[in-house]
Chain A
Amino acid sequence: MRFWKSWIVTTKDLGVFKKNRYILYSLIALPILMGVLVPLILIFSLQAEAASLRQETATTLVNLFTAYFVIIAAVLPTIIASYSFVGEKLEKSLEPLLATPTTDGELLFGKSLAAFIPCVGATYIGALIFVVIIDAWSILSIGEFLIPNVYWAIVMGAVTPLVCILSVEANVIISSRVNDIRAAQQLGAFVILPIILVMVLASTVQTFPLVTLALILTGALALADVAMFYLSKATFQREEILTKWK
Protein backbone atom coordinates (compact mmCIF):
# COMPACT_ATOMS: atom_id res chain seq x y z
CA MET A 1 0.00 0.00 0.00
CA ARG A 2 1.51 3.30 -1.13
CA PHE A 3 -0.09 5.96 1.08
CA TRP A 4 1.21 8.78 -1.12
CA LYS A 5 -0.92 7.40 -3.96
CA SER A 6 -3.97 7.37 -1.69
CA TRP A 7 -3.18 10.91 -0.62
CA ILE A 8 -3.31 12.08 -4.28
CA VAL A 9 -6.85 10.73 -4.47
CA THR A 10 -7.72 12.28 -1.11
CA THR A 11 -6.52 15.75 -2.07
CA LYS A 12 -8.36 15.57 -5.40
CA ASP A 13 -11.60 14.58 -3.66
CA LEU A 14 -11.16 17.35 -1.07
CA GLY A 15 -10.72 19.79 -3.98
CA VAL A 16 -13.98 18.53 -5.52
CA PHE A 17 -15.82 18.85 -2.18
CA LYS A 18 -14.56 22.42 -1.80
CA LYS A 19 -16.42 23.33 -5.00
CA ASN A 20 -19.65 21.75 -3.80
CA ARG A 21 -21.79 24.21 -1.83
CA TYR A 22 -24.10 21.53 -0.47
CA ILE A 23 -21.17 19.71 1.11
CA LEU A 24 -19.60 22.92 2.40
CA TYR A 25 -22.82 24.14 4.00
CA SER A 26 -23.45 20.73 5.57
CA LEU A 27 -19.93 20.66 6.99
CA ILE A 28 -20.37 24.10 8.51
CA ALA A 29 -24.04 24.07 9.56
CA LEU A 30 -24.30 20.86 11.59
CA PRO A 31 -21.23 21.34 13.81
CA ILE A 32 -22.04 25.02 14.39
CA LEU A 33 -25.59 24.09 15.33
CA MET A 34 -24.31 21.56 17.86
CA GLY A 35 -21.30 23.60 18.98
CA VAL A 36 -22.97 26.98 19.48
CA LEU A 37 -26.74 26.65 19.76
CA VAL A 38 -26.84 23.56 21.97
CA PRO A 39 -24.52 24.92 24.71
CA LEU A 40 -26.34 28.25 24.67
CA ILE A 41 -29.69 26.49 25.23
CA LEU A 42 -28.02 24.32 27.85
CA ILE A 43 -26.63 27.32 29.72
CA PHE A 44 -29.93 29.13 29.49
CA SER A 45 -31.78 26.19 31.08
CA LEU A 46 -29.07 25.65 33.73
CA GLN A 47 -29.29 29.26 34.84
CA ALA A 48 -32.82 28.51 36.01
CA GLU A 49 -31.58 25.57 38.10
CA ALA A 50 -30.91 25.99 41.85
CA ALA A 51 -27.17 26.67 42.42
CA SER A 52 -26.74 23.56 44.62
CA LEU A 53 -28.05 21.23 41.87
CA ARG A 54 -26.42 23.07 38.99
CA GLN A 55 -23.15 21.11 38.89
CA GLU A 56 -24.79 17.66 38.89
CA THR A 57 -27.41 18.62 36.29
CA ALA A 58 -24.80 20.33 34.14
CA THR A 59 -22.52 17.27 34.20
CA THR A 60 -25.41 14.97 33.22
CA LEU A 61 -26.55 17.23 30.38
CA VAL A 62 -23.05 17.85 29.06
CA ASN A 63 -22.40 14.09 28.94
CA LEU A 64 -25.72 13.58 27.17
CA PHE A 65 -24.94 16.19 24.54
CA THR A 66 -21.43 14.83 24.06
CA ALA A 67 -23.15 11.79 22.54
CA TYR A 68 -24.77 14.02 19.95
CA PHE A 69 -21.38 14.76 18.41
CA VAL A 70 -21.10 11.07 17.66
CA ILE A 71 -24.33 11.43 15.72
CA ILE A 72 -22.79 14.24 13.66
CA ALA A 73 -19.78 12.04 12.93
CA ALA A 74 -22.18 9.37 11.70
CA VAL A 75 -24.41 11.70 9.67
CA LEU A 76 -21.80 13.79 7.82
CA PRO A 77 -20.23 10.84 5.93
CA THR A 78 -23.65 9.94 4.52
CA ILE A 79 -23.54 13.31 2.77
CA ILE A 80 -19.90 13.36 1.73
CA ALA A 81 -19.17 9.71 0.99
CA SER A 82 -22.25 9.45 -1.21
CA TYR A 83 -20.87 12.33 -3.30
CA SER A 84 -17.44 10.74 -3.34
CA PHE A 85 -18.52 7.33 -4.63
CA VAL A 86 -21.91 7.81 -6.33
CA GLY A 87 -20.63 11.15 -7.67
CA GLU A 88 -17.79 9.33 -9.47
CA LYS A 89 -20.31 6.88 -10.87
CA LEU A 90 -22.53 9.68 -12.13
CA GLU A 91 -19.61 11.50 -13.74
CA LYS A 92 -18.47 8.13 -15.14
CA SER A 93 -14.98 8.95 -13.91
CA LEU A 94 -14.32 5.62 -12.23
CA GLU A 95 -13.08 3.81 -15.36
CA PRO A 96 -10.21 6.22 -16.15
CA LEU A 97 -9.37 6.31 -12.45
CA LEU A 98 -9.25 2.51 -12.30
CA ALA A 99 -7.03 2.49 -15.40
CA THR A 100 -4.24 4.26 -13.51
CA PRO A 101 -1.37 2.33 -11.88
CA THR A 102 -2.97 2.31 -8.44
CA THR A 103 -4.32 -0.63 -6.49
CA ASP A 104 -7.96 -1.02 -5.46
CA GLY A 105 -6.89 -0.65 -1.83
CA GLU A 106 -5.02 2.62 -2.51
CA LEU A 107 -8.03 4.09 -4.29
CA LEU A 108 -10.48 2.95 -1.62
CA PHE A 109 -8.29 4.23 1.20
CA GLY A 110 -7.77 7.58 -0.55
CA LYS A 111 -11.44 8.10 -1.19
CA SER A 112 -12.45 6.95 2.30
CA LEU A 113 -9.89 9.27 3.85
CA ALA A 114 -11.30 12.15 1.82
CA ALA A 115 -14.72 11.49 3.33
CA PHE A 116 -13.32 10.87 6.81
CA ILE A 117 -11.11 13.95 7.24
CA PRO A 118 -13.72 16.70 6.75
CA CYS A 119 -16.35 14.81 8.74
CA VAL A 120 -14.17 14.20 11.78
CA GLY A 121 -12.62 17.65 11.41
CA ALA A 122 -16.00 19.39 11.38
CA THR A 123 -17.19 17.28 14.32
CA TYR A 124 -14.08 18.19 16.34
CA ILE A 125 -14.44 21.88 15.53
CA GLY A 126 -18.07 21.74 16.70
CA ALA A 127 -17.01 19.87 19.83
CA LEU A 128 -14.24 22.39 20.53
CA ILE A 129 -16.67 25.30 20.31
CA PHE A 130 -19.00 23.34 22.62
CA VAL A 131 -16.20 22.82 25.16
CA VAL A 132 -15.10 26.45 25.08
CA ILE A 133 -18.62 27.79 25.63
CA ILE A 134 -19.55 25.25 28.32
CA ASP A 135 -16.24 25.62 30.19
CA ALA A 136 -16.38 29.40 30.02
CA TRP A 137 -19.78 29.26 31.63
CA SER A 138 -18.89 26.51 34.14
CA ILE A 139 -15.73 28.19 35.41
CA LEU A 140 -17.69 31.35 36.06
CA SER A 141 -20.80 29.68 37.37
CA ILE A 142 -19.59 26.52 39.16
CA GLY A 143 -15.94 27.32 39.58
CA GLU A 144 -14.53 24.35 37.64
CA PHE A 145 -14.19 23.03 34.11
CA LEU A 146 -16.84 20.40 33.27
CA ILE A 147 -15.08 19.01 30.21
CA PRO A 148 -12.91 17.32 29.13
CA ASN A 149 -13.58 14.36 31.37
CA VAL A 150 -12.72 10.66 30.88
CA TYR A 151 -16.06 9.86 29.22
CA TRP A 152 -15.74 12.84 26.91
CA ALA A 153 -12.15 11.88 26.01
CA ILE A 154 -13.15 8.30 25.09
CA VAL A 155 -16.17 9.44 23.08
CA MET A 156 -14.22 12.06 21.16
CA GLY A 157 -10.96 10.19 20.87
CA ALA A 158 -12.29 6.75 19.96
CA VAL A 159 -16.06 6.48 19.49
CA THR A 160 -16.41 9.47 17.15
CA PRO A 161 -13.72 8.46 14.62
CA LEU A 162 -14.81 4.80 14.75
CA VAL A 163 -18.42 5.76 14.03
CA CYS A 164 -17.25 8.00 11.21
CA ILE A 165 -15.22 5.15 9.68
CA LEU A 166 -18.20 2.81 9.97
CA SER A 167 -20.44 5.31 8.23
CA VAL A 168 -17.91 5.84 5.40
CA GLU A 169 -17.52 2.09 4.91
CA ALA A 170 -21.30 1.60 4.87
CA ASN A 171 -21.53 4.26 2.19
CA VAL A 172 -18.98 2.47 -0.02
CA ILE A 173 -21.22 -0.60 0.03
CA ILE A 174 -24.40 1.43 -0.51
CA SER A 175 -22.80 3.33 -3.39
CA SER A 176 -22.22 0.10 -5.26
CA ARG A 177 -25.95 -0.56 -5.38
CA VAL A 178 -27.48 2.84 -6.10
CA ASN A 179 -27.13 5.41 -8.85
CA ASP A 180 -28.54 8.39 -7.06
CA ILE A 181 -26.84 10.56 -4.45
CA ARG A 182 -30.02 11.14 -2.45
CA ALA A 183 -30.87 7.45 -2.40
CA ALA A 184 -27.35 6.77 -1.10
CA GLN A 185 -27.80 9.40 1.61
CA GLN A 186 -31.16 7.99 2.66
CA LEU A 187 -29.84 4.45 2.80
CA GLY A 188 -26.78 5.73 4.67
CA ALA A 189 -29.02 7.40 7.24
CA PHE A 190 -30.90 4.12 7.61
CA VAL A 191 -27.65 2.26 8.29
CA ILE A 192 -26.49 4.71 10.98
CA LEU A 193 -29.88 4.78 12.69
CA PRO A 194 -28.97 1.90 15.06
CA ILE A 195 -25.82 3.77 16.14
CA ILE A 196 -27.84 6.87 16.91
CA LEU A 197 -30.39 4.85 18.88
CA VAL A 198 -27.69 3.11 20.92
CA MET A 199 -25.98 6.41 21.74
CA VAL A 200 -29.15 8.22 22.76
CA LEU A 201 -30.58 5.33 24.77
CA ALA A 202 -27.30 4.52 26.49
CA SER A 203 -26.65 8.09 27.53
CA THR A 204 -30.18 8.63 28.85
CA VAL A 205 -31.01 5.26 30.45
CA GLN A 206 -27.52 4.89 31.95
CA THR A 207 -27.61 1.15 32.73
CA PHE A 208 -23.80 1.16 32.88
CA PRO A 209 -21.46 3.81 34.17
CA LEU A 210 -20.80 6.15 31.24
CA VAL A 211 -17.09 5.36 30.96
CA THR A 212 -17.81 1.61 30.84
CA LEU A 213 -20.45 2.25 28.22
CA ALA A 214 -18.01 4.29 26.12
CA LEU A 215 -15.41 1.51 26.36
CA ILE A 216 -17.94 -1.19 25.38
CA LEU A 217 -19.03 0.96 22.43
CA THR A 218 -15.42 1.49 21.38
CA GLY A 219 -14.79 -2.26 21.32
CA ALA A 220 -18.03 -3.02 19.48
CA LEU A 221 -17.41 -0.30 16.92
CA ALA A 222 -13.84 -1.42 16.34
CA LEU A 223 -15.11 -4.92 15.56
CA ALA A 224 -17.87 -3.55 13.33
CA ASP A 225 -15.31 -1.36 11.52
CA VAL A 226 -13.08 -4.36 10.79
CA ALA A 227 -16.04 -6.39 9.49
CA MET A 228 -17.27 -3.48 7.36
CA PHE A 229 -13.72 -2.89 6.08
CA TYR A 230 -13.62 -6.38 4.59
CA LEU A 231 -17.11 -5.97 3.15
CA SER A 232 -16.32 -2.59 1.57
CA LYS A 233 -12.98 -3.90 0.27
CA ALA A 234 -14.77 -6.80 -1.38
CA THR A 235 -17.20 -4.33 -2.96
CA PHE A 236 -14.58 -1.85 -4.16
CA GLN A 237 -12.76 -3.98 -6.71
CA ARG A 238 -12.15 -3.07 -10.33
CA GLU A 239 -13.92 -6.14 -11.60
CA GLU A 240 -16.97 -5.54 -9.36
CA ILE A 241 -17.14 -1.83 -10.14
CA LEU A 242 -16.98 -2.25 -13.91
CA THR A 243 -19.18 -5.31 -14.24
CA LYS A 244 -21.58 -5.34 -11.30
CA TRP A 245 -22.00 -1.81 -9.90
CA LYS A 246 -25.32 -0.41 -11.01
Chain B
Amino acid sequence: MIETENLTRKFGSLTAVENLTLQVNEGEVFGFLGPNAAGKTTTVRMLCCLISKTSGKARIGDFEVDSEENCLAIRKMVGLLPENVGLYESLSAYKNLDFYGKLYEVPLQKRQENIERLLKLLGIWERKDEAVGNFSKGTKQKIAIARALIHEPQVLFLDEPTSNLDPEAAKTVRDFILDLKKEKRTIFMNTHNLDEAGRICDRIAILKTHLVAVGSPEDLERSTSNRKTVVHLENITDAVLAAVKKLNVVKNMRTNENKLILDMDNPEKDNPQLVKAVVKAGGNVQFVTELRSSLEDVYLKLIREAETK
Protein backbone atom coordinates (compact mmCIF):
# COMPACT_ATOMS: atom_id res chain seq x y z
CA MET B 1 0.00 0.00 0.00
CA ILE B 2 2.92 2.35 0.75
CA GLU B 3 6.20 1.96 -1.10
CA THR B 4 9.30 4.10 -1.14
CA GLU B 5 12.49 3.62 -3.08
CA ASN B 6 15.58 5.65 -2.23
CA LEU B 7 13.31 8.44 -1.04
CA THR B 8 15.44 11.45 -0.17
CA ARG B 9 14.70 14.94 1.03
CA LYS B 10 17.28 17.65 1.48
CA PHE B 11 16.83 21.13 2.94
CA GLY B 12 19.80 23.03 1.54
CA SER B 13 22.89 21.22 2.79
CA LEU B 14 20.91 19.29 5.42
CA THR B 15 19.69 15.82 4.52
CA ALA B 16 16.49 15.12 6.42
CA VAL B 17 15.71 11.73 4.84
CA GLU B 18 18.25 9.69 2.90
CA ASN B 19 17.60 6.82 0.51
CA LEU B 20 14.62 5.47 2.40
CA THR B 21 13.37 2.22 0.90
CA LEU B 22 10.47 0.46 2.56
CA GLN B 23 7.18 -1.23 1.91
CA VAL B 24 4.06 -1.16 4.05
CA ASN B 25 1.41 -3.77 3.33
CA GLU B 26 -2.33 -3.24 3.19
CA GLY B 27 -3.94 -3.55 6.61
CA GLU B 28 -0.60 -3.34 8.40
CA VAL B 29 0.13 -1.13 11.39
CA PHE B 30 3.60 0.18 10.70
CA GLY B 31 5.56 1.97 13.40
CA PHE B 32 8.16 4.57 12.49
CA LEU B 33 10.63 5.06 15.32
CA GLY B 34 13.48 7.48 15.57
CA PRO B 35 14.90 10.28 17.68
CA ASN B 36 13.97 13.94 17.14
CA ALA B 37 15.07 15.23 13.72
CA ALA B 38 15.40 11.67 12.40
CA GLY B 39 13.20 12.55 9.42
CA LYS B 40 9.94 10.89 10.54
CA THR B 41 7.69 13.92 10.06
CA THR B 42 9.44 14.83 6.80
CA THR B 43 8.76 11.31 5.51
CA VAL B 44 5.08 11.52 6.42
CA ARG B 45 4.82 14.95 4.82
CA MET B 46 6.37 13.64 1.61
CA LEU B 47 4.04 10.63 1.57
CA CYS B 48 1.01 12.88 2.13
CA CYS B 49 2.17 15.14 -0.73
CA LEU B 50 2.63 18.08 1.59
CA ILE B 51 6.25 18.65 0.66
CA SER B 52 8.16 17.47 -2.37
CA LYS B 53 10.91 14.87 -2.46
CA THR B 54 14.42 15.71 -3.58
CA SER B 55 14.92 12.33 -5.25
CA GLY B 56 13.70 8.75 -5.17
CA LYS B 57 10.23 7.33 -5.57
CA ALA B 58 7.17 7.02 -3.37
CA ARG B 59 3.88 5.37 -4.07
CA ILE B 60 0.59 5.23 -2.17
CA GLY B 61 -1.78 2.62 -3.51
CA ASP B 62 -1.87 3.06 -7.28
CA PHE B 63 -0.54 6.59 -7.27
CA GLU B 64 3.04 7.81 -7.57
CA VAL B 65 3.83 10.80 -5.37
CA ASP B 66 4.66 13.21 -8.18
CA SER B 67 2.10 15.18 -10.21
CA GLU B 68 -0.48 17.56 -8.74
CA GLU B 69 -3.23 15.29 -10.09
CA ASN B 70 -1.80 12.22 -8.30
CA CYS B 71 -1.23 14.24 -5.14
CA LEU B 72 -4.90 15.27 -5.06
CA ALA B 73 -5.87 11.59 -5.44
CA ILE B 74 -3.43 10.57 -2.69
CA ARG B 75 -4.65 13.25 -0.29
CA LYS B 76 -8.17 11.97 -0.90
CA MET B 77 -7.24 8.40 0.10
CA VAL B 78 -5.09 9.21 3.13
CA GLY B 79 -5.93 10.65 6.53
CA LEU B 80 -3.38 12.61 8.52
CA LEU B 81 -3.13 13.23 12.22
CA PRO B 82 -0.31 15.77 12.50
CA GLU B 83 1.78 16.24 15.63
CA ASN B 84 -0.24 19.34 16.54
CA VAL B 85 -3.98 18.71 16.48
CA GLY B 86 -4.70 22.02 14.71
CA LEU B 87 -8.44 22.24 15.32
CA TYR B 88 -10.49 25.43 15.04
CA GLU B 89 -10.91 26.26 18.71
CA SER B 90 -13.90 28.60 18.31
CA LEU B 91 -15.87 26.08 16.24
CA SER B 92 -17.69 23.07 17.67
CA ALA B 93 -16.42 19.50 17.33
CA TYR B 94 -19.24 18.85 14.84
CA LYS B 95 -18.42 21.91 12.70
CA ASN B 96 -14.72 21.05 12.67
CA LEU B 97 -15.48 17.57 11.36
CA ASP B 98 -18.16 18.81 8.97
CA PHE B 99 -15.73 21.30 7.43
CA TYR B 100 -13.14 18.61 6.78
CA GLY B 101 -15.80 16.20 5.55
CA LYS B 102 -16.81 18.75 2.92
CA LEU B 103 -13.19 19.33 1.86
CA TYR B 104 -12.74 15.55 1.53
CA GLU B 105 -15.88 15.53 -0.66
CA VAL B 106 -17.92 13.24 1.60
CA PRO B 107 -21.61 13.48 0.58
CA LEU B 108 -23.89 15.17 3.12
CA GLN B 109 -25.68 12.07 4.44
CA LYS B 110 -22.49 10.00 4.68
CA ARG B 111 -20.78 12.95 6.36
CA GLN B 112 -23.50 13.21 9.00
CA GLU B 113 -23.40 9.45 9.59
CA ASN B 114 -19.60 9.39 9.88
CA ILE B 115 -19.47 12.34 12.26
CA GLU B 116 -22.09 10.75 14.50
CA ARG B 117 -20.41 7.31 14.40
CA LEU B 118 -16.94 8.66 15.14
CA LEU B 119 -18.00 11.05 17.88
CA LYS B 120 -20.10 8.34 19.53
CA LEU B 121 -17.22 5.88 19.27
CA LEU B 122 -14.92 8.37 20.97
CA GLY B 123 -17.54 9.31 23.58
CA ILE B 124 -17.86 12.96 22.51
CA TRP B 125 -21.25 12.91 20.79
CA GLU B 126 -23.03 14.55 23.74
CA ARG B 127 -20.61 17.48 23.51
CA LYS B 128 -20.66 17.79 19.73
CA ASP B 129 -21.89 21.41 19.74
CA GLU B 130 -19.38 22.64 22.30
CA ALA B 131 -16.48 24.82 21.11
CA VAL B 132 -13.34 22.72 20.75
CA GLY B 133 -11.42 25.28 22.84
CA ASN B 134 -13.26 23.98 25.93
CA PHE B 135 -12.02 20.40 25.54
CA SER B 136 -9.06 18.73 27.24
CA LYS B 137 -5.91 17.83 25.29
CA GLY B 138 -6.93 14.17 25.14
CA THR B 139 -10.39 14.98 23.81
CA LYS B 140 -8.92 17.33 21.20
CA GLN B 141 -6.60 14.52 20.13
CA LYS B 142 -9.60 12.22 19.76
CA ILE B 143 -11.41 14.82 17.62
CA ALA B 144 -8.28 15.19 15.50
CA ILE B 145 -8.23 11.41 14.97
CA ALA B 146 -11.91 11.55 14.02
CA ARG B 147 -11.05 14.32 11.56
CA ALA B 148 -8.39 12.10 9.96
CA LEU B 149 -11.02 9.36 9.58
CA ILE B 150 -13.96 11.46 8.41
CA HIS B 151 -13.55 10.34 4.77
CA GLU B 152 -12.83 6.68 5.67
CA PRO B 153 -9.27 6.76 4.29
CA GLN B 154 -7.51 3.59 3.23
CA VAL B 155 -4.25 4.83 4.71
CA LEU B 156 -3.87 6.67 7.98
CA PHE B 157 -0.75 8.61 8.95
CA LEU B 158 -0.47 9.27 12.67
CA ASP B 159 2.32 11.56 13.84
CA GLU B 160 2.96 11.02 17.56
CA PRO B 161 -0.68 10.14 18.31
CA THR B 162 -0.26 9.87 22.08
CA SER B 163 2.42 12.47 22.75
CA ASN B 164 1.54 14.98 25.48
CA LEU B 165 -1.43 12.91 26.60
CA ASP B 166 -2.00 11.68 30.14
CA PRO B 167 -1.88 7.88 30.56
CA GLU B 168 -5.67 7.50 30.48
CA ALA B 169 -6.11 9.59 27.32
CA ALA B 170 -3.13 7.82 25.74
CA LYS B 171 -4.76 4.46 26.47
CA THR B 172 -8.04 5.59 24.90
CA VAL B 173 -6.22 6.68 21.76
CA ARG B 174 -4.19 3.43 21.69
CA ASP B 175 -7.34 1.33 22.06
CA PHE B 176 -8.92 3.29 19.24
CA ILE B 177 -5.93 2.59 16.99
CA LEU B 178 -6.27 -1.10 17.85
CA ASP B 179 -9.95 -0.91 16.80
CA LEU B 180 -8.86 0.65 13.51
CA LYS B 181 -6.41 -2.19 13.06
CA LYS B 182 -9.35 -4.59 13.20
CA GLU B 183 -10.96 -2.63 10.35
CA LYS B 184 -7.88 -3.53 8.25
CA ARG B 185 -6.81 0.03 7.58
CA THR B 186 -3.18 0.63 6.76
CA ILE B 187 -1.74 2.70 9.58
CA PHE B 188 1.63 4.43 9.44
CA MET B 189 2.50 5.70 12.89
CA ASN B 190 5.37 7.95 13.95
CA THR B 191 6.13 7.51 17.60
CA HIS B 192 8.75 7.91 20.32
CA ASN B 193 6.87 5.51 22.52
CA LEU B 194 8.65 2.15 22.19
CA ASP B 195 6.27 0.30 24.46
CA GLU B 196 3.31 1.54 22.42
CA ALA B 197 5.03 0.61 19.15
CA GLY B 198 5.79 -2.87 20.48
CA ARG B 199 2.18 -3.44 21.50
CA ILE B 200 0.37 -1.95 18.50
CA CYS B 201 2.59 -2.33 15.45
CA ASP B 202 2.88 -5.35 13.16
CA ARG B 203 6.23 -4.05 11.96
CA ILE B 204 8.57 -1.31 13.03
CA ALA B 205 11.15 0.74 11.13
CA ILE B 206 13.91 2.58 12.95
CA LEU B 207 14.99 5.74 11.22
CA LYS B 208 17.98 7.97 11.78
CA THR B 209 17.82 10.01 8.56
CA HIS B 210 18.38 6.68 6.80
CA LEU B 211 16.64 3.38 7.53
CA VAL B 212 18.49 1.62 10.37
CA ALA B 213 16.31 -1.48 10.77
CA VAL B 214 12.89 -2.81 9.88
CA GLY B 215 11.00 -5.85 11.11
CA SER B 216 8.36 -7.09 13.52
CA PRO B 217 8.90 -6.12 17.18
CA GLU B 218 9.83 -9.78 17.87
CA ASP B 219 12.32 -9.89 14.99
CA LEU B 220 13.94 -6.67 16.14
CA GLU B 221 14.19 -7.93 19.72
CA ARG B 222 15.95 -11.03 18.42
CA SER B 223 18.10 -9.16 15.92
CA THR B 224 20.78 -7.95 18.32
CA SER B 225 21.73 -11.60 19.20
CA ASN B 226 21.40 -10.94 22.88
CA ARG B 227 18.97 -13.78 23.43
CA LYS B 228 19.71 -15.91 26.43
CA THR B 229 18.22 -19.10 27.81
CA VAL B 230 17.45 -19.01 31.51
CA VAL B 231 17.09 -22.34 33.35
CA HIS B 232 15.46 -22.06 36.77
CA LEU B 233 16.60 -24.93 39.02
CA GLU B 234 15.73 -26.05 42.51
CA ASN B 235 19.48 -26.09 43.28
CA ILE B 236 22.56 -25.60 41.18
CA THR B 237 24.98 -28.42 41.82
CA ASP B 238 28.56 -28.93 40.60
CA ALA B 239 27.35 -31.90 38.57
CA VAL B 240 24.84 -29.71 36.72
CA LEU B 241 27.48 -27.02 36.05
CA ALA B 242 29.92 -29.62 34.76
CA ALA B 243 27.29 -31.19 32.49
CA VAL B 244 26.35 -27.82 30.97
CA LYS B 245 29.98 -26.80 30.46
CA LYS B 246 30.53 -29.97 28.43
CA LEU B 247 27.88 -28.90 25.89
CA ASN B 248 29.38 -27.32 22.76
CA VAL B 249 26.19 -25.36 22.02
CA VAL B 250 26.59 -23.23 25.14
CA LYS B 251 28.77 -20.24 24.33
CA ASN B 252 28.76 -18.61 27.70
CA MET B 253 27.29 -19.40 31.11
CA ARG B 254 26.75 -17.52 34.34
CA THR B 255 24.67 -18.17 37.42
CA ASN B 256 22.40 -15.95 39.39
CA GLU B 257 20.93 -17.47 42.59
CA ASN B 258 19.34 -20.70 41.37
CA LYS B 259 19.29 -19.66 37.70
CA LEU B 260 21.61 -20.65 34.89
CA ILE B 261 21.88 -17.90 32.28
CA LEU B 262 23.24 -19.23 29.00
CA ASP B 263 24.26 -17.70 25.68
CA MET B 264 23.34 -19.96 22.77
CA ASP B 265 23.37 -19.41 19.01
CA ASN B 266 20.25 -21.33 18.24
CA PRO B 267 18.18 -21.82 21.39
CA GLU B 268 15.13 -23.21 19.54
CA LYS B 269 17.27 -26.13 18.31
CA ASP B 270 19.63 -26.61 21.28
CA ASN B 271 17.43 -26.05 24.34
CA PRO B 272 16.06 -29.66 24.38
CA GLN B 273 19.62 -31.01 24.47
CA LEU B 274 20.47 -28.57 27.27
CA VAL B 275 17.46 -29.59 29.36
CA LYS B 276 18.23 -33.30 28.88
CA ALA B 277 21.82 -32.75 30.08
CA VAL B 278 20.69 -30.81 33.15
CA VAL B 279 18.12 -33.43 34.08
CA LYS B 280 20.61 -36.26 33.52
CA ALA B 281 23.04 -34.50 35.90
CA GLY B 282 20.36 -34.54 38.59
CA GLY B 283 19.11 -30.97 38.19
CA ASN B 284 15.47 -30.32 39.06
CA VAL B 285 14.25 -27.93 36.35
CA GLN B 286 11.46 -25.55 37.41
CA PHE B 287 11.24 -23.27 34.36
CA VAL B 288 13.09 -22.67 31.10
CA THR B 289 12.59 -19.12 29.87
CA GLU B 290 14.01 -16.80 27.26
CA LEU B 291 15.75 -13.57 28.21
CA ARG B 292 15.42 -11.19 25.29
CA SER B 293 16.62 -7.67 24.64
CA SER B 294 13.72 -5.29 25.01
CA LEU B 295 12.69 -3.14 22.06
CA GLU B 296 14.18 -0.22 23.98
CA ASP B 297 17.58 -1.99 24.23
CA VAL B 298 17.47 -2.77 20.51
CA TYR B 299 16.41 0.76 19.60
CA LEU B 300 19.12 2.42 21.68
CA LYS B 301 21.79 0.04 20.40
CA LEU B 302 20.84 0.58 16.76
CA ILE B 303 20.56 4.35 17.08
CA ARG B 304 23.96 4.54 18.81
CA GLU B 305 25.50 2.41 16.08
CA ALA B 306 23.90 4.63 13.42
CA GLU B 307 25.24 7.75 15.11
CA THR B 308 28.79 6.43 15.30
CA LYS B 309 28.85 5.36 11.63
Contacts and interface: CB of A to CB of B under 8 A. Distances in A.
Interface stretch (A27-35, A201-209, A211-219, A238-246): A238-246
A16 B90 CA distance: 6
A103 B86 contact: no
Given A8-B99, A96-B144, A103-B68, A242 B88 contact: no
Contact of B82 (A9, A99, A243): A99
Contacts of B86: 91-97
Interface in B32-77: 45, 48-52, 68, 72-73, 75-76
Interface in A12-34: 12, 15-16, 19-20
Contacts of B88: 12, 16, 91, 93
Contacts of B95: 12, 15
A5 B11 CA distance: 31
Contact of A8 (B80, B91, B102): B102
A98 B50 contact: yes
Interface size class of B (residues with CB under 8 A): 20 to 34
B90 A20 contact: yes
Interface in B145-190: 147-148
A242 B86 CA distance: 13
A91 B89 contact: yes
A211 B221 CA distance: 81
A101 B84 contact: no
Contact of B80 (A9, A99, A102): A99
Given A101-B72, A238-B51, A8 B90 contact: no
A12 B94 CA distance: 12
Interface string A165-186: 0000000000000000000000
Contacts of B76: 101
Point out which of B99, B100, B144 has the most chain A C-beta atoms below 10 A from its C-beta: B99
A16 B147 contact: no
B270 interface: no
B84 A95 contact: yes
Contacts of B80: 95-96, 99
28 contacts: A8-B102, A8-B103, A15-B91, A15-B95, A16-B90, A19-B90, A19-B91, A19-B131, A20-B90, A92-B86, A93-B86, A93-B87, A95-B50, A95-B84, A95-B86, A96-B80, A96-B100, A96-B147, A96-B148, A99-B50, A100-B75, A100-B103, A101-B103, A101-B104, A102-B103, A238-B49, A239-B52, A242-B45
Across the A-B interface, the 7 shortest Cβ-Cβ residue pairs: A92-B84, A93-B86, A19-B90, A100-B103, A99-B80, A101-B76, A101-B75
